[in-house]
Structures are given as structure tokens and as C-alpha cells.
Structure 1
Amino acid sequence: MTPPITELTDRARDVFRVVVESYLESGAPVGSRTISRLSGLNLSPASIRNVMQDLEEYGLLAAPHTSAGRMPTESGLRLFVDGMMQSHEPTQEERAAIEARAGEAGPIEDALAATTSVLSGLSACAGLVLVPKREPVLKQFGFVPLSDDKALAVLVGDDGSVENRVVELPPGMGPSALNEAANYLSATLAGLTLAQAQLRLGQEIARGRAELDAAARALVERGLAIWSEDGGARPVLIVRGQARLIDTGDADDLDRVRQLLDELEGKQAIAELLGSAREGDAARIFIGSENKLFALSGSSVIAKPVRALDGRVVGVVGVIGPTRLNYARVVPMVDFTAATIARLLA
């Protein structure tokens, strides 16, 4: 069982810190001679080896090969992150880069994707953001016939976004009725959200003001319902920077990276993982096998809830990378990005 940090001697904590920080920087096991040269602990290599042996027996360090080098276990990384890590706040340049991409004009999804790309680049990880699908303010509608019983419904939002859905046509729905439905939607419901449009349509029908025949009315109701249900049920998950996970200089790591890239294809599972980080205020850190989704690739996920001004959670932002990522630098960067996205979604 992993001991609490308070049960380690000062010497053990010092050696453990040096091993972990050196490993996170280099990705290579750390030997006693390296520690004696870098740490300024004033301990002989033999004394350091004894301490490292104790730390290995605690389950905090492991020797991947028969060499004297040690690296932290997942339990050791967890102990370090929870009890010893000293965070490094993002630099002014890093903050400016994140804020600049978040402030770009255009659809909200484009700004989120740009912000996530910056986070990926700065952290050398894949960037992730999960937000509810924002209801567009409606601007224009159109229907394109696909067959006798199906059409492509096209919705244009006032932010320039375009979305398509395939809808089933009521019996007897010809091209003229499709045009009638599209013109009615554009003229009557423009400037409203989907929820407002559904409410307005119900009121118009109840008052007998909906100038539509039965087939066109059924199509309009069906189209609005599909958009609303689909948007509410599927949050937007943006993944950027997968290529940054590939370190061609580390051939031993390629199998892990391939496994991770395969896992990233399962976006629904990733969305569920990020969703589990919605509770609480602080960033959550999942290290290796602590999370079943990425257990095979031995990856870590740092995720932070995005909160609106009223305290509501409106999304989750995070990164995924190898377990040896720079937690002290990346965690504050994720925190800052979450705050930036919160302002973007306000």
C-alpha cells in the first residue's frame, strides 16, 4: 500500500522528488549517480541507492530494466501530483496565445477548436474540450429532396454555422410543399433559438395562424424536433493535436502511442470520461490505469470543468498525453484555458 507523503523521511522525499522531476523532464529512468550530481543532496551514490530501494519497496519507484535507474510508478506519480508538485503558472505569452485564439470571430465551435489547438501545442499533448451543443439562433432554412420519402434539411444560424439533417417526409410531400415549409420557417422563425421556435410554432398552430397544409406542418414540426433532440443529446467533443502524441525519437513508445490514437477514436467514451470531471472546482488528473479507457496505453488525462458566472458547469476542457507529462506546468495551463473558455461561452 502506498504510504502518505508524511510517512516518508525528509531524505526519502528529497530523493523521490528528484527522481520524479528528472523522469518527467527526460522520460528516462534515473540513476543514483545522476541524482547525486543534480540534486545537491550531499549524499553518496550508495546512500541514494539505499533510499531508492526503500522507495521501490513502498511501490513508489520501479526499475524497468536490470540497470540501477529508477522511474516513478503510477502510484508514485499520484503521490507526487497530490502531495509534492509545485505548479508553474502559464507565462504571459502562453496566456496571450490562448486568449487570442478564443477571441477570433466566427462560429463558437471554430473558436473552441482554435483554443484547443493552442492548448495542445503549448502542452505537447492532445487537447480536448467538451461543451453542450449551443442552440443556434435561426436565420434560414431549406429542404433538398433526396428521395420520395426523405429530404436533407439545411439550417443556417446567424453566426454562419450550417447544419444538415436527413428527415423523413410525410406522404404526398412534393417539391412545392418543401419550398412552402422552408419559406415559412425562414419568415416566421428567424431570430429564434430552436426551443423558442418550437414554442412559437405551437402557438401559431393553436391559433390557426400557421399557413401550412398538413404535410408541410408535419415536416416543420418533425424537423424542429429532430434538431432539438439531437443537439441536446450530443455534446460537442473537439480533439486537437493527436499528432503531437507521436514522438518518432522514442521507438519503444510507438506501440503505446498507436494504442492511444486508437482509443481517441472512441469519442463517446472520451466524452463520458470528461463528463466525470464535471464535479468539483479543481482539475482532475487521471493517471494511467486509474482510468480504464486509457489503461492499455498508459496515458494521463487532466480535465477541468468550465463554469459559467453563475456557477453552472457548461463544459470540460483538458489534455491527454503520456504519464510522464509535465503536470506542474500543464495543470495550471488547463485551469487558465477553462477560465478563458468560460468567458467565451458566457
Structure 2
Amino acid sequence: MASPPITELSTRAREIFRLVVEGYLDSGQPVGSKTLASDGTLNLSPASIRSVLADLETLGLLAAPHTSAGRMPTEAGLRIFVDGMMRVSEPTEEERAQIEARLAGGGPVEQALQQASALLSDLSGAAGMVLVPAREQRLAQFNLVDLGQGRALAVLVGEDGGVENRVIELSGTLDPGSLDRASNYVTARLSGRTLVEAVLAMRAEIEAGESQLDNASRDLVERGLAVWSEDSQQRPVLIVRGAANLLDEAALEDLERVRSLLEDLEDKQSVARLLESAREAEATRIFIGSENRLFGLSGSSVIASPYRDREGRVLGVLGVIGPTRLNYARVVPMVDFTARSLGRRIA
């Protein structure tokens, strides 16, 4: 049965529905008729309130987890509330200053992205996520370190200060100088180039007969660089912070749901695809429970927003994931403001 638009509900039903949803989002607990009656704002008896609650349950907007319990919103009810009734609470001046301060600084871009993810986690009490913008690393230094047993460690240092390591398998027996020659060649001749540019430049030199590297060293350089260029195309770079926040007291009562959520978060490619679906959104997108297949089983919600440069081009997506009882009215504008602040920081 499809849920009715909020405009089809009576004024009394809308007000009771709003109070139930807000009470549930605030406490995480079902809201009963006695609680609503004692509040004093409705001026209705518990019996009258129970009648309206029963009607809202029949419409699929509310549900009772137990026979004697109060009501809580269904996913359909939350969607109606978020789209048509939510009273957004904009960040305070103090909160805006805190966000700007946390994202400020002259460090590498990765530092701002890490801060954004941690910041969203702190502000929401859930887990923060940032999908790193697709951009090619530019080389500053390249080193190959012999690990023995036919393996070497390829160490790439980017112009932004980021350091990444990869282990590569060595073919055949190499003389000790091959690793040094390969490392020095990349650092001296290919620094300042992207990974793709570096590989193409090296191949062009070899074809022109201008490369001073021997065959063994050339093979090391090409395979050492290729391990990053291939990785950057296949692996979504997703930063997740604050997953421990998902293990709150309420979550401990439903460990299976939490286990499912944490497993979903481990599947970074799927999480990245979900966030990517918000890239072209004009405003912050909200996915509630089973509205997205990835987190449907864990009963979780995702609030996501793209962040853009000064020309309006989308650089990436950031967001928050948590239980469906997230404080949407507070978190949605927080995510939106953080997205705008991050865009200005890294543009």
C-alpha cells in the first residue's frame, strides 16, 4: 500500500506524526500516546491520540515494534517527513567557524580530506565518508628498495607530500645497481609528471634510443610506475572515519544489523558507487534504509553532497552514514556546509 502525500493528512494527524518522528529521532525510542498527551501541546486525551496513531500505522507511516510499545516511523514515514515536514536547523556561527577552522591550513589536500571525514563523524555522531576527487598523482621522488626473495618495495612520493608503497615481484636476478639506477632515473627525469605521462615519456625515450637505462632497469621502472597507474584507475579512494560511532547503546541491541553495516562499509567500491550517484545532485541527497540496496539490510541512512571547485565543477562527494534515526534536520545542513567549505579549500 502506497503511503499518502502529507497534504492528505488532517492537521491533527500531521502534528501527531511530526511529534512522533521528532521524538524518535531525538531519543531513538518509540513514542507512546501517554508521552504525547503529557507534552501538553496537543490538548488531546491519550485515547484520541492512540486512535490517530493507529490510523497512521494503517497508512504505513508508523510502526509498533512491540504490541505494548509506542510508535516509530517507517522508512516511508521518514521519507515523507524529510521531504515535506522537516524543520532544518542551520549550523550556528560557532559550528561554521569550527568547520572552517578544521578544514583550513596549508598542508596537502589529503589532510583536508581526512579532516572533512573526521569532522562529519564528530558533528553527526555517525561515520563520515569522503570520496576523493579523481586526480592523477604527480611524481616528486621514486625509490626501489630490495626486500630479498625476489621482491622489491616501490616507494612513490607525490608533489603534494603523499607517500605510497607497493611491493613488486622481480624477474630474474638483478645486480645491486639496477634498483639505484631505476630510482635515480625516475626522480631525475620523470618528476613533475603524472603517472601516465611518466610511463609515456619513458617509452618515448626508449623508442628514440635516448634512454641510458639497461633492460633490467627499464623493466623495473615501467612495472614500478604501472602498479600505481593501474591502481588509481581501479580502486576508489574512499576515506571513512568514525565507524566506531555506529556501535552505540541502541546498536548493541541489534548486533546483526551493525555487523551487516560494517561489512557493507568494507566494500569500498560499492560505497563509492553509492556516493557517485550523488555527484550530479543540485542539493544534498538522502538515502533512507532500503532506498539503496547497499545499506538496505542494515537499515541505515546516507546523507551525501557533492563538493565543487570555484567554477562549479564536481570534485568529489562527501557524506554521513548512520542509523535511520539520524538527526536529519541538523546533519543535512552540516553536510551541505562542509561540502561547500571543502570545495573552497581544495579548489
Range that drifts further, 202-211 or 75-84: 202-211
Following superposition of structure 1 onto structure 2, how do residues 1-346 of structure 1 map, counting pairs within 5 Å? 1-38=2-39, 40-67=41-68, 69-132=70-133, 134-147=135-148, 149-171=150-172, 173-248=174-249, 251-346=252-347
CA shift for structure 1 position 248: 3.2
- Superposed CA RMSD: 2.1
Matches of 2:169 and 2:262 in 1, distance apart? 36
Give the counterpart letter for 1:142 in structure 2: N
Matches of 2:329 and 2:29 in 1, distance apart? 18
Q: 1:311 to 1:35 in 2, by over 3 A?
A: same
Secondary structure of the structure 2 residue equivalent to 1:294: coil
Secondary structure of the structure 2 residue equivalent to 1:90: coil
Matches of 2:65 and 2:340 in 1, distance apart? 39
Deviations 1:261-317 (A, max 9, x none): 333222232222222222322222111122222223211111112223333332111
Secondary structure of the structure 2 residue equivalent to 1:293: coil
Secondary structure of the structure 1 residue equivalent to 2:229: helix
Is the 8 Å Cα contact of residues 180 and 212 (structure 1) preserved in structure 2?
Answer: yes
TM-score (norm 2): 0.92
Deviations 1:221-265 (A, max 9, x none): 232222112113212111111121122376524443343233322
Give the counterpart letter for 1:113 in structure 2: Q
| Identity %, equivalent residues | 63
Matches of 2:200 and 2:24 in 1, distance apart? 59
CA shift for structure 1 position 75: 0.8
Give the counterpart letter for 2:330 in structure 1: R
Range that drifts further, 323-332 or 151-160: 151-160
Secondary structure of the structure 1 residue equivalent to 2:318: strand
Is the 8 Å Cα contact of residues 171 and 215 (structure 1) preserved in structure 2?
Answer: no
Matches of 2:26 and 2:253 in 1, distance apart? 17
Give the counterpart letter for 1:138 in structure 2: L
Secondary structure of the structure 2 residue equivalent to 1:315: strand
CA shift for structure 1 position 147: 4.1
CA shift for structure 1 position 84: 1.0
Give the counterpart letter for 1:252 in structure 2: E
Count of residues in Structure 1 that have an aligned counterpart in Structure 2? 346
CA shift for structure 1 position 82: 1.1
CA shift for structure 1 position 326: 0.4
Matches of 1:88 and 1:6 in 2, distance apart? 23
Q: 1:249 to 1:223 in 2, by over 3 A?
A: closer
Is the 8 Å Cα contact of residues 248 and 254 (structure 1) preserved in structure 2?
Answer: no
Deviations 1:49-79 (A, max 9, x none): 2211111110001111122511111110011
Give the counterpart letter for 2:43 in structure 1: N
Range that drifts further, 13-22 or 61-70: 61-70
Is the 8 Å Cα contact of residues 236 and 268 (structure 2) preserved in structure 1?
Answer: no
Secondary structure of the structure 1 residue equivalent to 2:249: coil
CA shift for structure 1 position 344: 3.0
CA shift for structure 1 position 88: 1.0
Is the 8 Å Cα contact of residues 289 and 295 (structure 1) preserved in structure 2?
Answer: yes
Matches of 1:257 and 1:299 in 2, distance apart? 9
Give the counterpart letter for 1:338 in structure 2: A
CA shift for structure 1 position 217: 2.0
Secondary structure of the structure 2 residue equivalent to 1:146: strand
Is the 8 Å Cα contact of residues 128 and 237 (structure 1) preserved in structure 2?
Answer: yes
Secondary structure of the structure 2 residue equivalent to 1:292: coil
Matches of 1:328 and 1:223 in 2, distance apart? 48
Secondary structure of the structure 1 residue equivalent to 2:160: coil
Is the 8 Å Cα contact of residues 263 and 293 (structure 1) preserved in structure 2?
Answer: yes
CA shift for structure 1 position 105: 4.0
Name stretches of at least 5 consecutive residues in structure 1 with no aligned partner: none
Secondary structure of the structure 2 residue equivalent to 1:82: helix
Matches of 2:248 and 2:197 in 1, distance apart? 49
Matches of 2:59 and 2:321 in 1, distance apart? 28
Give the counterpart letter for 1:71 in structure 2: M
